[in-house]
Structure 1
């Protein structure tokens, strides 16, 4: 499936008081697109590139108009933020309130370290916090995050990427009560305490509402893009479509077979459908629908079978690579292959106007680049990049898949989540490339065919003690020691490189008499983690399941 652009974030305007898209390319004005003429004044040195505003951490901030919260009993503050991995603390993403001397004097603010929103009528001694139960939790750096705070009545809720991270039902300070409605220190990127740091990173799409958005609205604004892809695919699959994609001019499109007999203008939503995180959508995309001018499903299947038979006859996948799929946007079947013209020319002639042949760019990237099937996952056996808490939403999952793709494509040893600084990519000690200029894998898409608008910027470093060959050597030695003569029935063994601690981890049920020589041969390089050997009953259960 071909995807060319991502849908925009949800345009929820009810109650919108202020919106800075921060998509300017120059100037000292953060333009308010809410229609209320609340433009902000940019101070210090700002970086503009049309995709958010860069804050330099030393003097950049936006001064918002006075009295934004006057008369408010409820509020929502929501925005995209990218925290520079070198950002110190303490700092505010934003602060709405007043100052007295060098201190805050009544305010509402949110910060990423530790991740929380605080409300106070005076200073920090009287603040009311809305923060996760894990009080050490920090917002990941080096990747875009969506942050939302909603408050109505005594309930304040803090969201990350549309997922609730913290809730308090003991918030007794209404937004409009701060300063009696008068607030003259309303800042974006600056704290209300002069001793705090200025924010360093990027922000975009900063909004303030005079009401608390519902959870579904928060999700729509925060991760609507990723959720819509999953819902669009579900609609297409449930209704028997050939493909779904995003047209840059008209939005989501679903293409049906030319002989489709159903009503393409009345798509049925799959009953009881939830996304992979168990969330039930409150609304569904309404895509443009059309029938393929030239393909039924059987015709596409026949064409794909013909391509496979020509390029990989008798199931031979070792001679030439092949990836074949239907491109709904251009109503063509695409075959990506490294087979020569002498093999593919007959196909191009036979299926002119229906088949497009492309080089297999994913398997054969630019010189010096790796692939997901190659070194990292195949030889090093490192764990897939993921936050310690796992995936709670579609946007987080997408971003960590991108981190892994960056690591794979740039020949890294591993990628992982550092709770203090966010995504980290570790390279071999003898790596000769530029670890500060990671190349994006060409043509990479998400599992739903989405071309990402943004890529994470992980912290990078080289292993203090390992080249790839040295890790491979250790792996081979472990297998020889634990599974002597290839005997894999005596002891179980699993091996992976732990980038966080720069060690090779060996998971095995072998006794110390077997593993101690490894620890002696590779001091400070190997960690043995004992696992329990499966019981006969476990083996029987496994065999029954396999049967």
Structure 2
């Protein structure tokens, strides 16, 4: 469940109510409304009495979403969530347990592969008789991973230590191949840009499907490559006999072992459809967006996940529509423009305590008490309705002398909590440093513009790490993934970045884990030197007394390690800058503001 998170503001505005699209189930002439903070999937901390729901503590995340339960054709599934031992348990019901070899670290998300001797031996002949296949898994590639390596390989190894028929995938360059011999006869499914790498230091979801002559390679549920010239069926490899079926190990003796983590490794005996692939890759994220749309369109108060009964939608106590026949909003699409094939069927109930008007009255009373007009005391405040507890929640740092009258007046309806989304400690990064880190450089983002919730959240985390640790810039290097660049005189520990406390995404999502970017110091710049170049560029292009109105924007580009001056001024104006700051300034033509678009060159940060 996703909603814009406005709780981080120093003072919350008076809560408004918003009207969703007309509800076809509501009486004629009525206009159902919901509180602005109602649709929020939050940590489960109580129970809705009317439903007798047993709720477990937890936090929302899209970095590692609960994955869709698509079991048709499932041949094996290793969740890799064991805490010890040498068995990768098969939860498909087909008794295809794997054997874990080498040193293993189970302390974290999924199974850790050390890059030296860790791998999982899958039972022999796993592809025997298959005319189609899907291989699907989550992977976190260590930034230190060299190449060549296999993420997995199903096949055989010859007496000369070379692969002898196999199906495999790798992240550098990102591709899947199948062959009945060695690398000379591989039939590849790979992106058009054959140098494309799977980003390191962050979780990615990889899926390969093959049926007939078509192989499709997906990243986070988004198609990255397609080949219609695959003539080798999976079951043809080794004539059905494969004794080197590995996860985390190559079928070539001289290749490297995989270094990183994996989780939820699946093999299907059929090719999943595009919609199934996306469902598995994004877990229930798409369904939660649909649930929010259903709740909003039908005038609900809140929607949340109960671990025992699944999605739940709560309506006002005076709701007159049919809560057992929710209407899907017509022509609805998700944030990526995709229309759902089907809609969730949530459990529905009415609040035992609240109409919309009653929630609004409490919210207004809380605002008036904690942040009265004309009062200079700046208490932080976030007020919302929590459907899981069927209570209005006020998160604030106001003292009890301020909040006690509210708790007494609305006993059994209002919960007072500590304000938990404070900004990072001021001493972590001075204001000027934060300005350079967030204004002079463009926002971090994947160079290939992959549009999916998991990647979007991870890049927000990369930017948050950069800002909180006073970095100059964060960007995506196509060869190694996320990179954060610090000033040359940075005195902090670039190998142990502090995570901003209380951080959530723009939708209030709490990450289950954080990316591990490559870090480096700029060879050219301290923070003061960047500011100096910026000031000089502005003075040069917009000189006092010069009536020529040149456009100019200045930013630091971490990938090229240059201060970029975007302007329409002629070279006669900008050449002095290049002369004054050789190898530090790059002049480019003015462009309208766009998301980060690195120029493709890798900075030499050694």
Q: TM-score when scaled to structure 2?
A: 0.81
Deviations along 1:394-416, one digit per CA (max 9) or x if unpaired, are 22212212222222233322211
Aligned to 2:166: 107
Which stretch has the larger CA shift, 367-376 or 36-45?
Answer: 367-376
CA shift at 1:377, angstroms?
A: 7.2
Match of 2:509 among 438, 450, 455: 450
Correspondence 1:41-60 to 2 at 5 A: 41-49=99-107, 51-60=109-118
Aligned to 1:84: 142
Deviations along 1:194-238, one digit per CA (max 9) or x if unpaired, are 111111101111111111111111111111233233222222222
**In 1: Cα distance, 2:78 partner to 2:545 partner:** 63
Aligned to 1:94: 152
Q: 1:425–1:460: 8 Å Cα contact kept in structure 2? A: yes
Deviations along 1:460-489, one digit per CA (max 9) or x if unpaired, are 222333333443343344334434459998
CA shift at 1:266, angstroms?
A: 2.4
Match of 2:444 among 382, 385, 400: 385
Aligned to 1:31: 89
Q: 1:16 to 1:323 in 2, by over 3 A?
A: same
Which stretch has the larger CA shift, 353-362 or 130-139?
Answer: 353-362
CA shift at 1:384, angstroms?
A: 1.3
Aligned to 1:251: 310
Deviations along 1:112-154, one digit per CA (max 9) or x if unpaired, are 1111110101111111101111111111111111111111111
**Where in structure 2 are there 5+ consecutive unaligned residues?**
1-39, 44-58, 594-606
SS of alignment partner, residue 283 of structure 2: helix
CA shift at 1:437, angstroms?
A: 2.3
SS of alignment partner, residue 411 of structure 1: coil
SS of alignment partner, residue 129 of structure 1: strand
Match of 1:71 among 126, 129, 138: 129
CA shift at 1:183, angstroms?
A: 0.6
Q: How many aligned positions are there?
A: 534
SS of alignment partner, residue 428 of structure 2: coil
CA shift at 1:520, angstroms?
A: 3.8
Correspondence 1:288-367 to 2 at 5 A: 288-314=347-373, 319-339=378-398, 344=403, 346-366=405-425
RMSD of aligned residue pairs (Cα, Å): 2.9
SS of alignment partner, residue 193 of structure 1: coil
**In 1: Cα distance, 2:186 partner to 2:98 partner:** 27
CA shift at 1:176, angstroms?
A: 0.8
Aligned to 1:144: 203
Aligned to 1:539: none
- RCO higher in structure (CA 8 A, sep ≥6): 2
**In 2: Cα distance, 1:489 partner to 1:346 partner:** 62
Aligned to 1:284: 343
SS of alignment partner, residue 431 of structure 1: coil
Deviations along 1:506-543, one digit per CA (max 9) or x if unpaired, are 22223334434433443333222222799xxxxxxxxx
CA shift at 1:342, angstroms?
A: 5.6
**In 1: Cα distance, 2:208 partner to 2:85 partner:** 29
Deviations along 1:137-178, one digit per CA (max 9) or x if unpaired, are 111111111111111111111111111111111111111111
**Where in structure 1 are there 5+ consecutive unaligned residues?**
535-547
Aligned to 1:202: 261
Which stretch has the larger CA shift, 346-355 or 309-318?
Answer: 309-318
SS of alignment partner, residue 485 of structure 2: strand
**Given the alignment of the two structures, is residue 188 of structure 1 paired with residue 227 of structure 2, yes or no?**
no
Aligned to 1:166: 225
**In 2: Cα distance, 1:394 partner to 1:45 partner:** 33
Q: 1:260 to 1:192 in 2, by over 3 A?
A: same
**Higher fraction of helix:** 1
Aligned to 2:491: 432
SS of alignment partner, residue 500 of structure 1: coil
**Given the alignment of the two structures, is residue 260 of structure 1 paired with residue 303 of structure 2, yes or no?**
no
**In 2: Cα distance, 1:217 partner to 1:242 partner:** 31
Q: 1:331 to 1:518 in 2, by over 3 A?
A: farther
**Given the alignment of the two structures, is residue 482 of structure 1 paired with residue 544 of structure 2, yes or no?**
no
**In 1: Cα distance, 2:321 partner to 2:94 partner:** 46
SS of alignment partner, residue 424 of structure 1: strand
CA shift at 1:321, angstroms?
A: 4.3
SS of alignment partner, residue 304 of structure 1: helix
Which stretch has the larger CA shift, 389-398 or 150-159?
Answer: 389-398
Aligned to 2:120: 62
Which stretch has the larger CA shift, 286-295 or 134-143?
Answer: 286-295
Q: 1:312–1:319: 8 Å Cα contact kept in structure 2? A: yes
Which stretch has the larger CA shift, 142-151 or 490-499?
Answer: 490-499
Q: 1:375 to 1:258 in 2, by over 3 A?
A: farther
Which stretch has the larger CA shift, 56-65 or 257-266?
Answer: 257-266
Aligned to 1:13: 71
SS of alignment partner, residue 221 of structure 1: helix
4+ residue runs over 6 A deviation: 315-318, 371-374, 486-489
Match of 1:22 among 75, 80, 92: 80
Deviations along 1:361-383, one digit per CA (max 9) or x if unpaired, are 43433464359998157864321
**In 1: Cα distance, 2:367 partner to 2:436 partner:** 27
**Given the alignment of the two structures, is residue 3 of structure 1 paired with residue 62 of structure 2, yes or no?**
no
CA shift at 1:351, angstroms?
A: 4.1
**In 1: Cα distance, 2:354 partner to 2:432 partner:** 33
Q: 1:335 to 1:437 in 2, by over 3 A?
A: farther
